Structure 1
Amino acid sequence: MSPFVEESGGGDPVGTPGPTALKNYIAIELRRLREAAGFKPDDAARRIGKAKTVIFHIETGRNLPAPADLEVLLNLYGTPERVPFFRELIKTAKKGTDWWMGFTSTVPEWFNLYLGLESAAARISSFDALWVPGLFQKREYAEALYRAGEQRMTDEQVSKAVELRLARQAIITRDDEPPRIWCVLDENALRRQVGGPEVMRSQLDHLIKLNELPNVDIQILTHRSGAHAGAEGTFALLDYPTEFVGASGTAYVESRQQGIYYDPPDQVEDFRRIFERLQVQAEKPERTPELISIAAKDTT
């Protein structure tokens, strides 16, 4: 099933691209088409008879283009054949509902886009330097992280944050084309006891089970690897289904205060090269169960 097919019933389920992901793709693709055709934002604005800010808002995903403007712009860019596709995309984006709307009090504004892109991704490649990534965390592990890092959170806030993290994991085993997930995990994440020995052993056992899934690969970057390509820290690289024509993917880096999104092709390619080097520097996937089991035995 295409990720653009509208679901019946209530809001879109986890794993179905919602308005946030679709608006982001429309924005990036219209900007790419404009630049490929050699036009500046001023040129596009003049052609539709509107202010330059209208183009800016369309190309940053703030607003969807009006149907009439869309047709004019795609004709200007030399791609009139894509008008029906974009019209359907805009229609779907307007009718859809992002699956995490019930968790809005827990989600920082800058993280909304990542949740949307993660749901839409056909492949998720990540390097995690300190912790087990959110998509792989068990409830007790996630709760221990939140309580250690956010002492001001109430029990209710912690509970909602953990539920959101667990809800994201539905994409791993969804029936309709689950994403290919490849994680290079630093050995530090296996050795750092989050929540105590019992919680950590359970989390490590969960990693072994996840690694057995056909769409999940975990590699361990051991301490003996020494200096490595991921020295600058954790990142995720998201690639999208073939329906997202022209999309080069998105690289995502997160700090305590904000999430940073890189979508220009040259920047995405830079992260892709780093990830490929990490895959070479990490232990072979075949060794992953053994390495995790050793870490579990050492957890006392």
Structure 2
Amino acid sequence: MVASSPTALKRWIAIELQRLRKAADVKPEDAAKRIGKAKTVIHHIETGRNLPAPADLEVLLNLYGVAERTPFFRELVKTAKRGTDWWKDFTDAVPEWFQLYLGLEAAAARISSYDAQIVPGLLQTPEYAEAVIRAGERRLPDHEVTRRVELRMARSAILTRDEQPPQLWTVLDESVLYRQVGGPAVLRAQLDHLVAMAELPNIDLQLLPADRGAHAGIEGTFTILDYPDEFAPDPGTAYVETRRRGIYYELPEDVRDYRDALDQLKLAATRPEDTAAEISRRAKEK
């Protein structure tokens, strides 16, 4: 199972058990009573704070009318308990609010984004990433900058992993190709890297020309994460990052709103098959 991150699995178990309880029209206090525990136990399970005990899990799934899913959930809980988040060696470089995103990103089957200012982290070169990090937090000491760059490069490994690499679809605002992040040489190398990555079968890039005017992404960058089929009917996650924290939208109607916005951006952008040539042309202008 690619989605072996305990962080990602706890999140999915929590959301799905809450969805199943609501679909069965069972109140939290009634679920707690059935397993002989306090209502807070259900709350902790449904917020991902705690994993359900095996015996409680079986009782709850029976109560929710989906007893046939017990073996699947048991395996998820076991995997979550014995798994290790890949970034455990980078805890000094990962803000607490970003840990959930790293887990969801590693577990995703598809990652779709609109990027309004800079190249997305998964596609950055080390030099470009360093320039972005230094510009964002100018007081960071060199060793912390280095660790954050290393973390970003480690993240990008999911795109070329042997086992089920995610499909990546990115719409880049045209201005990203001109913004002198790190200077002309760094930007040129970054654009060359984008061209190379666009050749991979699991990566699609599009450019949103400046002459499109106002558009669905006018409010800024966002990412949509979709998970493997075995996690259906999970609606996915829409993620928006600010300077201080990440915001996770997981209600179906919220995720749908971001999907609609991305669909509009895709229609307005260049075709994926034309994008690499356009980036390459602009790299030669530098």
Deviation at 1:43, TM superposition (A): 2.1
Asked if 1:186 corresponds to 2:173, the answer is yes
User: Aligned runs of 1:118-157 on 2, under 5 Å?
Assistant: 118-157=105-144
Q: Percent identity at matched positions?
A: 65
Deviation at 1:293, TM superposition (A): 2.4
Q: What is the TM-score of this pair, normalised by structure 1?
A: 0.93
**Alignment partner of 1:104: what SS?**
helix
Aligned to 1:37: 24
Select 2:82's aligned residue among 82, 95, 105. Answer: 95
**Alignment partner of 1:175: what SS?**
coil
CA distance in 2, matches of 1:289, 1:97: 37
Deviation at 1:246, TM superposition (A): 2.0
User: Structure 2: any 5+ residue segments left out of the alignment?
Assistant: none
Structure 1, residues 232-253: CA drift from partner, whole Å, max 9, x if none?
1111100011121321111111
User: Aligned runs of 1:1-300 on 2, under 5 Å?
Assistant: 2-3=1-2, 17-299=4-286
How large is the RMSD of aligned CA atoms in angstroms? 1.1
Residue identity opposite 2:38 in structure 1:
A
Deviation at 1:290, TM superposition (A): 2.9
Structure 1, residues 244-263: CA drift from partner, whole Å, max 9, x if none?
13211111111011101111
Report if the CA contact (8 A) 1:17-1:117 is conserved: no
CA distance in 1, matches of 2:239, 2:134: 24
CA distance in 1, matches of 2:160, 2:43: 38
> How many residue pairs get matched?
286
CA distance in 2, matches of 1:235, 1:205: 24
Report if the CA contact (8 A) 1:236-1:253 is conserved: yes
Residue identity opposite 1:198 in structure 2:
A
CA distance in 1, matches of 2:159, 2:4: 15
Q: What is the TM-score of this pair, normalised by structure 2?
A: 0.97
**Alignment partner of 1:105: what SS?**
helix
Deviation at 1:287, TM superposition (A): 2.2
CA distance in 2, matches of 1:95, 1:265: 30
CA distance in 2, matches of 1:71, 1:45: 13
Report if the CA contact (8 A) 1:219-1:285 is conserved: yes
Deviation at 1:193, TM superposition (A): 0.7
**Alignment partner of 1:132: what SS?**
coil
User: Structure 1: any 5+ residue segments left out of the alignment?
Assistant: 4-15
